[in-house]
A and B are shown apart, each in its own frame.
Chain A
Amino acid sequence: MSRSSYLKPDTIALHTGYVPESDYGSRAVPIYQTTSYVFESVADGSALFNVEQGGHIYSRITNPTVAVLEQRIAALEGGTGAICTASGMSALFASFITLCSAGDHIVSATQIYGSTATLLRHTMKRLNIECTFIPINDEKELRGAIQTNTKLVFCESIGNPGLEVADIPQISRIANESGLPLVVDATFATPSLCCPIDHGANIVVHSLTKWIGGHGLAVAGVVVDGGNFDWQASGRFPELTEPYAPFHGIKFWEEFGPSALAMKMRAESMRDIGAALSPHSAFLILQGLETLSLRMKAHIANSRALVEWLQTQQDVTWVNHPELESSPSHAIALKLFPDGAGSIFCFGVVGGRAGGAAFIDSLQLASNLANVGDSRTLVLHPGTTTHSRLSQEAMLAAGISEDMIRVSAGIEDIRDIKNDFALGLKAANRVAGNQ
């Protein structure tokens, strides 16, 4: 069973967080498009502000439609609570800024999404929060990177776009032994394929914009509190264990225990930074979430079929997917992703960078854009787009080559995707022939 219910994941995705009991019996989750909520009385308003009771005050902090999504994702991931945000990046920023202050330090995997790398390398640095990037599965490197001022270890369950699978059990063990939580961006996996908390992660972040939404209609993010980290025993987090002045000296750990982080994030990050998810976007994401597991099965089937087919094509120079035996992540992928290690794969074509460009520009069905996880097949050249702000050296460390084409396999008929890719390969072949 889930940690939150006896219900199974597919049922949770459809039902958790809402029952049709309003005046109108709406079967779908209603969109509560409102900024604020009328208090029953002055005393009731005061009680809400003082956390004497639960409820809604202002939609920057909480909203009923958003709360359904939060409770549903928390249940699917096995967390004690969740906070939805305006985007995946704001979910990451909220996580980092809730745990870190000026003078603190983060240890991060090298193979991560380009904007996350920029956030950690440049923006957090302006706040005097430093980051050390390491090959995250290297135990010695990880132990060596942890400092007395380190506050968290960060990785992606499947790295973007290098597709390195993080050895979450090993990383969480090392982090926890040092009194540090492990924060995992699990966007490429979704709870349908892997729940990092089950493997020892303490905080899970998603860009809901991707597979969980699936339709490409709304930008959204979420942070899930695993509730499995002892902030008091760590001794590194006075923000959670000591009195918090803006809330009458509340001690989040004492008051809320396993949901201390989520409560702190709600009380501080959502209040002060205000990257709230709109109720309409939450509604759209809920529509996607309801069919997540069905879609993920189709994504995985198409991804596997394409990877297998591409390996037989003479104009393809290499293919990378964690399930391939040639992948350094093969063993850990089999262990953590028994139902499929995601629907992103990368490959190179003849003609190098020019061949890759020709491939992408000749596609008729797949879309060339900066997104993944859409139900439609998407392609991208990371070296000139998502990771273009990285130095050559950082790009190589992130597992990106000049000729790399990243594919997010959609759920169209596989024969149509293959036909489309065949057009691209012909174009790459022509470019290579002219070189």
Chain B
Amino acid sequence: MELMVRKTATYASTGGKDFNPGLPTVLFVHGSGLDHRSWALQTRWFAYNGYSVLAPDFPGHSLSAGEPLKSIEAMGLWLADVLAAAGVESAHVVGHSQGFLCVLELARQAPERVKSLTGIGTAAVIPVNPALIEAALRSAGQAAEMLLQWGFGQRAQLGLSAVPGMQPIAIGRQIMADNPLAADLQACADYANGAQVAASLDVPAQLILAGQDRLTPLKAGKALAENLKASYVVIQGYGHMLPIEAPKRCLLILRDLIGSLESGE
């Protein structure tokens, strides 16, 4: 659906159902250069099983208008405005990679908006090689190829796909090639407060980490879990792009945490 956020047309996937702010809401936040389609195999289940879903495209990404935001702090604050625009008081928030840094900033700047946090394939600091940012400034498509070469695990590189007949790396490349990847990578590289922010939060949290993550290594993910005082699950055999590479495993873990919090268990 289209939301007006700061007077700018903003697209948010609702998982294929009309958005109902009266239901428990799950907010999905995409990573660098990507969009709501990263969550295609999680959002639809939540939307059809008693939740409302928002998976927005950040400004200037895919179906959202506007200029890309320049810092993780600004992105976090923008997420609060997305929830407000949709009439949602608070939500379970799920972020992938850079998206989870934005989630941390949302929780810091608008803690009342956050019921729980789930980070997938992430870390407190996500350093970016300046050469990659320069490459993205020249050509988002070429930078995407480099990034995805590292981002997807060996199974995806061998062409395995959760959706029969599809090529997830090529899909990701196509999305990234048309999005402001350089701006996202720069924001990611500039953000250094992840560990400090994580340590300051008091909210139910969990991390889903990948055993073969080469962009946010498992060790860094575990350190973030400690900062957050969060539980974590490691999915072995997959790379950084877990929501796409191992969508069902991610979904089941999300369902367990969010479902248990909603039922008060």
CB pair A74 B13 closer than 8 Å? no
Q: Which residues from A are CB-within-8-Å of B170?
A: 3-4, 74-75, 78-81, 227, 258
A12 at the interface (CB under 8 A from B): yes
Report the bound CA distance from A25 to B45 in whole Å. Answer: 32
User: Nearest Cβ in chain B — how far from A335, in angstroms?
Assistant: 22
CB pair A255 B16 closer than 8 Å? yes
Report the bound CA distance from A82 to B165 in whole Å. Answer: 5
Q: Which of A1, A5, A50, A259 is within 8 Å of B44, CB to CB?
A: A50
A325 at the interface (CB under 8 A from B): no
A72 at the interface (CB under 8 A from B): yes
CB pair A19 B157 closer than 8 Å? no
A71 at the interface (CB under 8 A from B): yes
Report the bound CA distance from A349 to B176 in whole Å. Answer: 55
A7 at the interface (CB under 8 A from B): yes
Stretch of A246-254, A293-301, A304-312 contacting B (4+ beta carbons < 8 Å): A246-254
Stretch of A51-59, A115-123, A401-409 contacting B (4+ beta carbons < 8 Å): A51-59
Q: Which of B35, B45, B158, B251 is within 8 Å of A257, CB to CB?
A: B35
CB pair B171 A250 closer than 8 Å? no
Tell me the residues in window 353-409 of chain A with beta carbons closer than 8 Å to chain B beta carbons.
none
CB pair B175 A258 closer than 8 Å? yes
Q: Which of A78, A81, A227, A232 is within 8 Å of B165, CB to CB?
A: A81
Q: Which of B13, B158, B164 is within 8 Å of A19, CB to CB?
A: B158
Q: What string of 1s and 0s marks CB contacts (under 8 Å) between B42-60 and chain A?
A: 0011001000000000000
Q: Which of B62, B145, B162, B166 is within 8 Å of A1, CB to CB?
A: B145
CB pair B167 A6 closer than 8 Å? no
Q: Which residues from B are CB-within-8-Å of A47?
A: 45
> Given contacts A52-B44, A80-B166, are A15 and B248 in contact (CB under 8 A)?
no
Q: Please give me the residue from chain B that is nearest to A249 by CB atom.
A: B16
Q: Which residues from B are CB-within-8-Å of A249?
A: 16
CB pair B175 A4 closer than 8 Å? no
CB pair B63 A75 closer than 8 Å? no
Q: Which residues from A are CB-within-8-Å of B169?
A: 3-5
Tell me the residues in window 165-191 of chain B with beta carbons closer than 8 Å to chain A beta carbons.
165-167, 169-171, 173-175
CB pair B44 A12 closer than 8 Å? no
Tell me the residues in window 122-166 of chain B with beta carbons closer than 8 Å to chain A beta carbons.
145, 149, 155-166
> Given contacts A50-B48, A256-B40, are A74 and B165 in contact (CB under 8 A)?
yes
Report the bound CA distance from A259 to B165 in whole Å. Answer: 10
CB pair A72 B159 closer than 8 Å? yes
Q: Which of A12, A50, A64, A227 is within 8 Å of B164, CB to CB?
A: A64
CB pair B171 A80 closer than 8 Å? yes
A17 at the interface (CB under 8 A from B): yes
Q: Which residues from B are CB-within-8-Å of A250?
A: 16
CB pair A71 B167 closer than 8 Å? yes
Q: Which of A52, A70, A80, A84 is within 8 Å of B45, CB to CB?
A: A52
The winner among A17, A63, A228, A259 for most chain B CB atoms within 10 A is A259
Q: What string of 1s and 0s marks CB contacts (under 8 Å) between A305-332 and chain B?
A: 0000000000000000000000000000
Q: What string of 1s and 0s marks CB contacts (under 8 Å) between B21-45 and chain A?
A: 0000000000000010100110011
CB pair B159 A5 closer than 8 Å? yes
B217 at the interface (CB under 8 A from A): no
Report the bound CA distance from A405 to B173 in whole Å. Answer: 44
CB pair B171 A259 closer than 8 Å? yes
Report the bound CA distance from A47 to B47 in whole Å. Answer: 11
Q: Which of A6, A54, A55, A227 is within 8 Å of B157, CB to CB?
A: A6
Report the bound CA distance from A234 to B40 in whole Å. Answer: 23
CB pair A257 B174 closer than 8 Å? yes
> Given contacts A5-B159, A19-B158, are A75 and B165 in contact (CB under 8 A)?
no
Q: Which residues from A are CB-within-8-Å of B13?
A: 254-255
> Given contacts A5-B158, A71-B161, are A248 and B16 in contact (CB under 8 A)?
yes
6 A–B contacts, CB within 8 A, in A order: A7-B157, A50-B48, A53-B247, A71-B161, A82-B165, A248-B16
Given A5-B169, A62-B164, A71-B167, 5 other A-B residues pairs in contact with their CB atoms under 8 A: A67-B165, A70-B165, A227-B171, A257-B62, A257-B175
B residues adjacent to A (C-beta < 8 A): 11, 13, 16, 35, 37, 40-41, 44-45, 48, 62-63, 145, 149, 155-167, 169-171, 173-175, 247-248, 251
